[in-house]
């Protein structure tokens, strides 16, 4: 497994990361998947305090406790579960960030977080306070680096110049190329993309025909457009799964493709696809898909 430097930080992360949100809540099965990921060379694990009301962090923390020094652990903050347990609300205040990081540390069974990410954001947020909170935590050694998980251009443009952020997590795939418009801006700020959704809910795997039968649309693609586009991709790539991974990793601004797995079989399919992707030239595949841009939050 190859690794890449994460933005302007000192962190180096594996080109495939494990998105832990998909992990089963069964402790034994979750550990089985995490152990398999480590065995395959994955060093980057991404979770959030929001997932399963903190249970996901507990599972990840316990599964990785004996391997902590060998992995890069990322989590997120900003979404707070309502007291009645029904839904959550947004709280990016400095007070909440400083409180929630302690809760995440406890659940993750660690005394530091490698990458701490703001889990969203709006243009009205108190950005100076947010940046101050992250900078203070970094200075204290509680976090090693910080970033943001957002697809809102106005939020990203507000946050990056005022901060020492090192990464932006964005949905990015052959079927969602909206981030490409902002590659130059991110590179100018020495910031890396950590992708999510790069398999487009399974549409960009070798099971795409089964997936599309259960899908009415995806992003701006109608079902008919999806069918036609995926047929073209499959006709130009011997392995759709591998091509999907190769496409997002072809840009140096991308540090890692974070892929979820709810079973060991899904994880191993991604590892097989990644190994094939290393030798693929997929630049021309972009000509088969839409180059959409963000219409909102500009």
31-73, pLDDT tens digit by residue? 999 999 999 999 999 999 998 888 999 999 999 999 999 999 9
The architecture CATH gives domain 3-201+242-288: Alpha-Beta Barrel (3.20)
Average pLDDT of the chain, as a whole number = 95
Give which of 246, 245, 263 is closest to 37, Cα–Cα: 263
Active site residue: 51, 172, 221, 247, which one?
51
Question: In the predicted model, what is the mean pLDDT of residues 94-104?
Answer: 97
pLDDT reading at 85 higher than 80: no
- 187 CB contacts (<8 Å, ≥6 apart)? 252, 253
The C-alpha atoms of residue 178 and residue 125 are separated, in whole angstroms, by 23
205-217, pLDDT tens digit by residue? 999 999 999 999 9
Q: Are 13 and 43 in contact (CB under 8 A)?
A: yes
pLDDT score at 79: 85
Q: Are 230 and 290 in contact (CB under 8 A)?
A: no
47 by Cβ neighbours in 10 Å (0-12 / 13-18 / 19+) ranks as: buried
pLDDT score at 103: 97
Does 294 participate in catalysis according to the annotation?
A: no
202-249, pLDDT tens digit by residue? 999 999 999 999 999 999 999 999 999 999 999 999 999 999 999 999
């Amino acid at each position: 497994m190859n690794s890449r430097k994460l933005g302007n930080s000192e962190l180096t992360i594996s080109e495939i990361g494990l998105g832990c949100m998909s992990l089963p809540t069964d402790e034994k099965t979750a550990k089985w998947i995490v152990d398999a990921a480590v065995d395959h060379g994955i060093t980057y694990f991404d979770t959030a305090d929001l997932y399963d009301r903190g249970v996901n962090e507990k599972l990840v923390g316990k599964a990785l406790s004996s391997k902590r020094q060998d992995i890069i652990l990322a989590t997120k903050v900003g979404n707070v579960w309502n007291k009645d347990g029904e839904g959550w609300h947004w709280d990016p205040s400095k007070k909440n960030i400083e409180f929630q990081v302690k809760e995440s540390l406890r659940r993750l069974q660690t005394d530091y977080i490698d990458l701490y990410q703001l889990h969203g954001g709006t243009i009205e947020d108190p950005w100076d306070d947010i940046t101050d909170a992250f900078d203070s935590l970094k200075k204290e050694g509680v976090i090693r680096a910080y970033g943001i998980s957002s697809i809102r251009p106005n939020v990203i443009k507000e946050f990056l110049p005022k901060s020492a952020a090192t990464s932006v997590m964005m949905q990015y795939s052959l079927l969602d190329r909206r981030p490409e418009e902002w590659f130059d801006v991110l590179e100018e700020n020495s910031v890396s993309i950590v992708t999510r959704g790069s398999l487009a809910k399974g549409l960009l795997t070798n099971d795409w025909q089964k997936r599309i039968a259960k899908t009415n649309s995806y992003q701006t693609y109608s079902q008919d457009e999806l069918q036609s586009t995926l047929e073209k991709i499959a006709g130009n790539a011997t392995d759709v799964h591998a091509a999907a991974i190769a496409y997002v990793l072809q840009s140096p601004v991308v540090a890692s493709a974070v892929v979820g797995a709810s079973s060991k079989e899904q994880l191993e399919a991604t590892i097989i696809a990644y190994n094939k992707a290393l030798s693929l030239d997929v630049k021309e595949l972009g000509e088969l898909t839409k180059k959409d841009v963000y219409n909102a939050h500009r």
